[in-house]
Amino acid sequence: MIKRRFTISLALALALSLPLASSHAAGGSVENATFTSAISGNAPTDYRQQFSNDTPVVYFYGELLDLKGQTVRHRWSLEGKQMQVVPIKVTKVRQPAWSKLAMQPEWTGNWTVEVVDKGGNVLSRSNFAYNPN
């Protein structure tokens, strides 16, 4: 009887721990997400939400947490139209990551960059404006 209770308790404990382990593995987040005009020493040189349309390149920067072993994507969109997708291989538990987009003067409007995990989940969504001079 004691052996059977132990076996049932052990099986229950293992069953309850599995969802927690798999949800943690599928988790992950993005911290310190920002847009910048340049990257220096693996960090943004400024923090911006607006750029004039004579800005040649816009960078999106964020720290990827608990996504080691995945390839995440930076999905750049202008007014809801996808313009670029950049895959980023995550090799560390906490990894700075960025992508850039060479801008065109006519691409004015509201931009969104989403960080998407391997399962298609949006981990982060950030916006910036690209305005005429």
pTM of the model: 0.79
* pLDDT on residue 36: 98
Task: Tell me whether residue 20 is in a domain.
Answer: no
Q: How many helices (H) and strands (E) does the chain have?
A: 1, 10
Rounded Cα gap, residues 16 and 41, in angstroms: 44
Edge-to-edge strand list for the sheet holding 57-65:
29-36, 57-65, 94-102
Show the CA angle centred on residue 128, arms to residues 30 and 57, nearest 5°: 95
Strand duo 43-44 + 50-52: pairing: unpaired
Task: Tell me whether residue 39 is in a domain.
Answer: yes
Domain extent for 83: 27-131
The CATH number of the domain holding residue 47 is: 2.60.40.1930
Q: Provide the number of structural domains found in the chain.
A: 1
Tens digit of pLDDT at every position of the chain (133 positions): 544 443 333 333 333 333 332 223 358 999 999 999 999 999 999 999 999 999 999 999 999 999 999 999 999 999 999 999 999 999 999 999 999 999 999 999 999 999 999 999 999 999 999 999 8
* pLDDT on residue 27: 81
Rounded Cα gap, residues 106 and 100, in angstroms: 17
